[in-house]
A and B are shown apart, each in its own frame.
Chain A
Amino acid sequence: MHVPLGLILVPLIGAFVMLALGLTKMRKPLVIACSTVIGLGSLHLLFNQLHSEFLLMPINEHDWLPVFGWLGLGIGVLLFIISIRHRQYLAAILAATQATLAWWAEHLTHISEQVVPAPMVIDHLSTIMAAIVGLIGGLICVHAVGYMKDWHEHHKNLPDRRNVFFFLLFIFLSSMFGLVFANSLPWLVFFWEVTTICSFFLIGYARSDEAIKNSFLALKLNLIGGIFMTLGWILIIWRGGTLDMLQIVASGDALYLLPVAMICVAGLVKSAQFPFSPWLLGAMVAPTPVSAMLHASTMVKAGVYVIIRFAPVLQDTTAGLMISLIGATTFLLTSLIAIGQNNAKRVLAYSTIANLGLIVTCAGTGQYNAIWAAILLIIFHAVAKALLFLAVGTVEHRLGSRDIEDMQGLIMRHPALAVAMLVGIAGMFLAPFGLLISKWAALEALIVVNPILPIFVVFGSSATLFFWAKWMGKIIGAEPGTRPVPDDTHSLELIVLAVLTSMVIVCCAAFPWVAEMMIDPYVISAYGRTMIIDRETMVVMSIMLLLVALLPLSLLYRGGERFRRVAPYLAGANYEHPYRFTGSAGKEYSMGFKNYYLAEYLPEAGICRWGYLASLTLLLVLMVVAL
């Protein structure tokens, strides 16, 4: 009973203690302690929740609404002032609008005497989300301890404000827990706004012009989302509906369609779907743990989480189809764009948007099996993407570059980091790893619903195959005899990477269990039935995983005694040195290996333009059909 409250309060209190302590050595143990507590707490919740369907938290909403109202207003004023100071007048207007609307909505709620009996509810979906936030978020915080030390050594010109950094991270975690436990729309909106603000400050942490510009971009777009969500809230009160999310979902009343569509728009913004995607790419200027936590594994998942929450309302509606189509368009186009990126973080960002698009595609249909696939995607993507972001961040500090081309032969230079990265990448696109299982489930689910959606998915996933595989190729292609570089990676970073790497594998091995114990109960409670995977498929997946696991054993065989190492073939011209060759007039050249990026054929700006156009049209249709 007290665990959920603890999950919200522990990071909250921890955050303020860290802020108050300033720059001390105490922060490290404090961060580790807080992360451990929330990690274990969320696990406890996950395992204990397995026995019951709901956990209602009887909190009197009336006592809390004014508190949230004042806090929200305070945050609005703060954002307004900051925006004015940076001459970001649009942001200021949006902040003011959002705060006013929220205040008004609060007021209307008060007048209508709407009380949600249980403003916080813990069901299977919330526990899954909480486990992701607690475990992965906690791990990322621990990684950040080592990473931020390095980061400030790389950015000597900046004042060390690490206490503020961790303050924001933990405030964010606290609000994330609040968000996934919320069952009352006003609560959801409040926590939603807090995550927006944390993201805003964290993106701007580096305080460079670019960082400030991008943080305001993120703020503006997310405020638009927030405004939509608040409008949805107001609309429900006008139409005389309830603010209890479980009841909204259960009622099946058509009056909720438009409000839910508006809330879903907020979800689309938060999960950076077209046409709102630019903010997530801009957010990549933030230190990597921020990208890993907010912009890959947790905050952006809040966007798809609300869509999944409200998905039963979208079942068999044109509005739902439009949301699915926006997701599908995003998945296809961002996967294509990712091919042209050589900046590792941008590839990850685009791939994140793409995967969120896939989740939105599934969620928008509101069908039980698609929702099942969507939740599975959330879990696997969160783990694999967190690992990848952290690995890229750590590698970036070792190499001084986040260009994929500079990762040539990483497997020999930094074997441990390379293995973590390879497992992460494999987890993103290869059978029998997590994401592919989900993609399989998604395809099986979508084809039943609509033939157009799987077509998008099919083309998009072919594109993902290309950019992931060539990245893997970059990492493993090394000159024979390359020696490992002495590694000065912070031990905490390595531990976190190791834990996440094993989590990717364990999640995959435990997939049938995850499905049966965690996802099925939620899907059954919301839809009355669930996706059935026959035993044979499970067995086949397990056998494949076993084969993958056994394959590295073949590395023990080193080619036998007779093995003779030869230079790569280059028409014999590389006789002096395997990777240099003698050209005309006896001149020596060295060889370089570059990957294909097809930038000429897949122009980022051009594809984005089409994406914005298509998705804006779909958004418009969505609003019209939801009316």
Chain B
Amino acid sequence: MTRNFLAGFAYLLLAPVIGAVLAGIDRRITARMQGRRGPPILQPIYDLFKLLQKEPIGVRRTGHFFVFGHLIFMMAAGFEFFFGGDLLIVIFAFALSSVFLVLGAYAAHSPFSHIGAERELLQMMAAEPILLLTAMGFYLANGSFRVEQISTHPVPALYVLPGIFAALAFILTIKLRKSPFDLATSHHAHQEIVKGLTTEFSGVSLALVEIAHWYETIMLLGLFYLFLAPYPVAAILLVAVVYGLEILLDNTSARMKWQWAMKSSWTTASILGAINLIVIYYWLGGQP
């Protein structure tokens, strides 16, 4: 139990730092891929502290409410994950957190953030099935929804869940807001809907959204770690490869329309995810 709490609190403390550094490395690699030098690795942290010092402005005085909700439930979801709790609850808390961000964009009542919010909801709808199917898959593979049991299971889940793994990697692009699925808001400048979802957040609010995104990144990567949990080194390598591929994809693809995002993710979910689930259900002989 103590270990669980330690892991949970370690996540709360370290995830933003690691997430920020990861974002810095991401920006550096992206720059190198484009033939540029790129910013310092700690750039995201500089950005964060600058944002915290900016004048508070906003369309309405209560905008921070939703940002708090977003951050708190992202932290809650991640805490529950690293604590070793129920994976389904992690996913539900995660969804709640994302809904808060979307509602914040709606509440700002601004054209660009409104469209961003609609698109983000579409993307959530696109990604949600695979996230839940992943939990189902882990349950069939390991007999438990609890992250703790899943991570201590001797056989890596990757062996029985390759389809679900691939499908999850597919929607990771959506969750990390990378091309071709950076429809709702983008890390890169000049999107057709300005900054979409985050257009109306500024200063501290924007800083909190950034922190939440770092928490999110770490939690999602943690999900990938679970696939090879019995072999920590290989698992970390796997996470690095997945993240590296995301960066590569981000730099080599154009932004797609939401129709494509929707269709492709639901197709992936139903082909790779669902078939994998059905196959292992019968392969492992029904009840785990």
Residues of chain A having any CB pair with chain B under 8 Å: 409, 430-432, 436, 440, 443-444, 447-448, 450-452, 454-455, 458-459, 461-463, 465-466, 469-470, 472-474, 476-480, 536-537, 540-541, 543-544, 547, 551-552, 554-555, 557-560, 562-570, 578, 591, 593, 595-596, 601
Contact = CB atoms under 8 A, between A and B. Distances in A.
A174 B58 CA distance: 55
Contacts of A470: 117-118, 121
Given A430-B96, A443-B132, A563 B58 contact: yes
Contacts of B184: none
B128 interface: yes
A470 B118 CA distance: 7
B56 A472 contact: no
B277 to A, nearest CB: 5
A458 B200 contact: no
Contact of B96 (A431, A480, A536, A554): A431
Nearest to A464: B125
B278 A461 contact: no
Contacts of A563: 56-58, 61
Given A472-B106, A566-B59, A465 B200 contact: no
5 contacts: A447-B136, A455-B277, A472-B106, A564-B57, A565-B57
B88 interface: yes
B245 to A, nearest CB: 25
A560 B278 CA distance: 54
B80 interface: yes
A564 B122 contact: no
Contacts of B262: 601
A465 B57 contact: no
B251 interface: no
B100 to A, nearest CB: 9
Nearest to A336: B125
A455 to B, nearest CB: 5
B65 A431 contact: no
A447 B140 contact: yes
B103 A473 contact: yes
A573 to B, nearest CB: 10
A566 B58 contact: yes
B11 interface: no
Nearest to A339: B125
Contact of B125 (A463, A474, A543, A570): A463
Contacts of A559: 56, 58, 61-64
A212 to B, nearest CB: 38
Given A459-B270, A559-B64, 5 more contacts: A462-B129, A473-B114, A543-B76, A578-B59, A601-B259
**Looking at chain B's contact residues, is the secondary structure mostly helix, strand, loop, or mixed?**
helix
B168 interface: no
Given A458-B129, A472-B106, A593-B109, A448 B58 contact: no
A430 B99 contact: yes
From B76, B88, B108, B287, residue with most partner A Cβ within 10 Å: B88
Interface stretch (B67-75, B221-229, B232-240): B67-75
Contacts of A536: 85-86
A448 B287 CA distance: 6
B278 A568 contact: no
A541 B89 contact: yes
A459 B129 contact: yes
A596 B132 contact: no
B139 interface: yes
A455 B112 contact: no
B56 A562 contact: yes
B59 A568 contact: yes
B154 interface: no
B170 interface: no
Contacts of A436: 92
A543 B77 CA distance: 12
B133 interface: yes
Contacts of B194: 569
Closest 9 CB pairs between A and B? A568-B110, A473-B106, A462-B128, A451-B281, A431-B92, A458-B132, A559-B61, A466-B125, A477-B109
Select the residue from A431, A444, A557 with max chain B CB neighbours within 10 A: A431
Nearest to A470: B121
B244 interface: no
A589 B110 CA distance: 15
Interface in B85-136: 85-86, 88-89, 92-93, 95-96, 99, 102-103, 105-114, 117-118, 121-122, 124-126, 128-129, 132-133, 135-136
